[in-house]
Chains A and B, each alone.
Chain A
Amino acid sequence: MVATQETIEKVKEVSSSYKYGFVTDVESDRAPLGLSEDIVKFISKKKNEPKWMLDWRLKAYKKWLSMDEPDWAMVNFPKIDFQSIYYYSAPKKKPVLNSLDEVDPELLKTYEKLGIPIKEQEMLAGVAVDYVFDSVSVATTFRDKLAKEGIIFCPISEAIQDHPELVKKYIGSVIPISDNYYAALNSAVFTDGSFVYVPKGIKCPMELSTYFRINEQNSGQFERTLIIVEDKSYVSYLEGCTAPQRDENQLHAAVVELVAMEDAQIKYSTVQNWYPGDENGKGGIFNFVTKRGHCIGDRSKISWTQVETGSAVTWKYPSCVLRGNNSVGEFYSVAVTNNAQQADTGTKMIHIGKNTKSTIISKGISAGKAQNTYRGQVQIQKNAHGARNFTQCDSLLIGDKCGAHTIPYINQHTPTARVEHEATTSKISEDQLFYCLQRGLDTEQATSLIVNGFCKEVMKELPMEFAVEAQKLIGISLEGSVG
């Protein structure tokens, strides 16, 4: 029997409501515009949070009120009106389309170039009725597999309910509410994010990805992520996706805290391609993120790998606090800015324990009229005997209207430490391009090849699936920048 159109509509309706909560409560779909103590309370109530969580949020909100917006970065953007932001929206009902034919062809072209399989394209674009069931069942199987090992991977709002003792112990321990303006704001109003806990002696059997998190695929506006890895354990976490993401919320101020115990390892990889705005930078996303890893235990290791190609303004310094003896911090980054994008990004490596080691490899690529700044701090405390740091920051300029800046801070308080810093700035030479063209590669292929060669050291740190997509993404981000 063939399903009638009416039946199909009914199924769609039911499945959407299954996924997105209940179809009632229209008036509390969205909090009123602006931020106040009441809004903070509203968010906490919506999330059914225990009192200690609300108190923590309120403390953060009060702190935020007393702070000034920072303005020291080498980025310019129109003043943010914090009172004209919606701090809570119920998960949006994404428009359900019947097929890819209804999707913006430009978006489809980008998906093609990124090599995203059709099924995934459908999901990303909001097509397909069975997406709802698929994602629920896939994610459920995933979670069951993890649960067998004692690994917790869930939205942070769930963790606050189900594992309050863990959240309470660690939230704000790596990035206190007073750390900076945007962290304070995030602490007051965060609505979703990931929580990961890996018990002792477990190597997480698969890469954890935000993709598999059952949650309301919401704005990512104020995400809060907390990852705790106990002794001798390992986890690799992937954040973001290469597909271009638009969002009506312009400000993204996430906070990510990582905690690694003795002999533990955390690998955190990010591919970010938020909407960068038009060629004049208008309408793009502001990505102001605070990320920090705490190597508490001896011989622990935290690695940050990021490929940032999107956003109008990127402002972030994923960092490591190397407290445990022999702990290791790594930062591998490719930041691409084109047209009118701006990036002020880098890292902080704080050496506290003995014989700690940090490696920083930063590759900045600027094109168009973009500005790309690397800002890094290597801090070696008084008792951090035997600390070693190696920093390499390379800039690649495409065209002559863009800029690259390097601002390294090195504070060394012990003579037994060794800090090395190398920096290069280069252009894609006309000779290199012509060589590739003469071998039959067109300008885009040639640029992509040369740029990916430039980024090789960073790209090889990315998990396989991300690496392949990220390479294509870099090529796409630089389209039109040469020739």
Chain B
Amino acid sequence: MSLLEIKNARLKIENKEILKGISLSVNAGEVHAIMGPNGSGKSTMSYMLAGRDGYELDTGDVLLDGKSIIDMTADERARQGMFLAFQYPVELPGVGGISFLREAVNSRRRHIGEKELDHLTFVKEARKAASSMFVKDEMLKRSVNVGFSGGEKKRFEILQMAMLKPSVSILDETDSGLDVDALKIVSEGVNSQRNENNAIIVITHYQRLLDYIVPDYVHILSDGMIIKSGGPSLALEIEKNGYAGIINAA
């Protein structure tokens, strides 16, 4: 049984069909890359999986651990173990990083029947996770994402991933806006979380990220459909020949 299964997902936004029948099977322990040109439906797919309002499937299904999740709200899915690292993380003025993280972590722990972390234990864990992501202590005390640079925001996303320990993580263009150093840090953060029980979906335009987060499978998304799937070498092909070649051949 796959950890995440998308079955023939079709989705219309304002009467325009964006996802035109996507099917995907992701097993535990795997990393899948979704690549595609602008407008192919990558963000729509990630919002759909995360359960955002307005991104409900018209037909099709999504199963997490064999159970359908399309009737679950975004927060229910999150507590079930879905995580989305946003492409453009939003600012939450006045909401302290530590409080936010603790609420998130404890919501998940409550759901899976684990005891909530007390403040001191939590701060210790947070600091540990922060230092491995090169996120300074004092940044944790600031309001979430307020005044963070692009790189800091992305590192903070991966820090949250480390603390929440999700089953399925979707990284939505995590590499956008990052320089090589930041890219390395973020990738190391992601790689250190890979294990045989979870799965990661990496959404990206560029092959470069996949040098650091090496996928097991690569899928090309074009105009709302997966038109080709392959191993890591498929990404190299895109790098060399661009999307056009593959799309025309499909």
Binding site for B on A (CB under 8 A): 429-432, 434-443, 445-446, 449-450, 452-457
Q: Give every chain B residue within 8 A of A443 (Cβ-Cβ).
A: 75
CB of A440 within 8 A of CB of B164, answer: yes
Chain A, residue nearest B166 (CB): A440
B103 A442 Cβ-Cβ under 8 A: no
Interface string of B86-100 (1 = CB under 8 A from A): 100111111110011
Determine whether the beta carbon of A434 is less than 8 Å from that of B52.
yes
Q: Enumerate chain A residues within 8 angstroms of B92, measured Cβ to Cβ.
A: 432, 435-436, 449-450, 453
What's the least CB distance linking A424 to chain B, in Å? 10
How many whole Å from B70's CB to the nearest CB in chain A? 16
B residues neighboring A (CB under 8 Å): 50-53, 73-75, 78-79, 82-84, 86, 89-96, 99-100, 103-104, 107-108, 111, 143, 160, 164
Asked if B50 and A441 make an inter-chain contact with CB atoms under 8 angstroms apart, the answer reads no
Report A-chain residues with C-beta under 8 Å of the C-beta of B108.
Answer: 440
When distances are taken between beta carbons in the complex, the residues of chain A under 8 Å from B84 are 438
Q: With A449-B103, A453-B95, A453-B143 in contact, is A437–B90 under 8 Å at CB?
A: no
The contact of A429 among B53, B86, B90, by CB within 8 Å, is B90
Could you tell me if A440 and B94 are in contact, using CB atoms closer than 8 angstroms?
no
Instruction: Please name the 4 residue pairs, one residue from A and one from B, whose CB atoms are nearest each other, closest first.
Output: A453-B94, A440-B107, A453-B95, A439-B104
Whether A440 contacts B75 by the Cβ 8 Å rule is yes
B interface majority secondary structure: mixed
Main secondary structure on A side of the interface with B: helix
Please determine whether A452 and B94 come into contact, CB atoms closer than 8 angstroms.
Answer: yes
A430-B53, A434-B53, A434-B74 known; A441 and B94 CB under 8 Å? no
B62 CB to closest chain A CB (Å) equals 15
The contact sample of 5 A-B pairs, CB cut-off 8 A, is: A431-B90, A439-B103, A439-B164, A445-B107, A457-B94
Q: Which of A436, A440, A449, A450 has the most CB of B within 10 A?
A: A440
**A435 neighbours in B (Cβ, 8 Å):** 86, 89-90, 92
Query: What distance in Å separates the Cβ of B200 from its nearest Cβ neighbour in chain A?
Result: 16
Q: Which single residue of chain B is at the shortest CB-CB distance from A451?
A: B94
CB-based contact A456/B94 at 8 Å? yes
Residue of B nearest to A443 (CB): B75
Which residues from B are CB-within-8-Å of A449?
92, 95, 99-100, 103
Chain A residues with CB under 8 Å of B78's CB are: 437-440
CB atoms of A441 and B73 under 8 A apart: no
CB distance from A380 to the nearest CB of B (A): 31
B96: min CB distance to chain A, Å? 8
The answer to whether B75 touches A437 (Cβ under 8 A) is yes
The answer to whether B94 and A445 have CB atoms under 8 Å apart is no
Q: Are B103 and A441 in contact (CB under 8 A)?
A: yes
A452 to B92, CA, bound (A): 11
Which residues of A sit under 8 angstroms from B164, Cβ to Cβ? 439-440
Residues of A within 8 A of B75 (CB): 437-438, 440-443, 446
A440 touches B143 (CB 8 A): no
User: Which residues of B lie under 8 Å from residue A432 when comparing CB positions?
Assistant: 90-92
Q: Kindly provide the distance from the CB of B79 to the nearest chain A CB, expressed in whole angstroms.
A: 5
Which residue in chain A gives the minimum CB-CB distance to B107? A440
Closest to A442 in B: B75
A439 near B90 (CB under 8 angstroms)? no
The residues of A that contact B94 with a CB separation of less than 8 Å are 452-457
Nearest chain-B residue to A430 (Cβ)? Answer: B53
Of all chain A residues, the one with the shortest Cβ separation from B77 is A438
A432 and B74 alpha carbons, distance in the complex (Å): 13
Which single member of B74, B93, B99, B143 contacts A438 (CB below 8 Å)? B74
How far does the alpha carbon of A452 sit from the alpha carbon of B103 in the complex, in Å?
14
Please name 9 further chain A to chain B contacts, defined as beta carbons within 8 Å, in addition to the given A434-B50, A446-B75, A453-B93, sorted by A numbering: A430-B53, A434-B52, A437-B51, A439-B104, A442-B107, A449-B103, A450-B95, A453-B143, A454-B93
Tell me, in angstroms, the Cα distance from A437 to B103 when the chains sit together.
11
Q: In whole angstroms, what is the CA distance A429 to B96 when docked?
A: 18
Query: Is the beta-carbon distance between A445 and B52 smaller than 8 angstroms?
Result: no
Give the chain B neighbours of A454 by CB distance below 8 A: 93-94
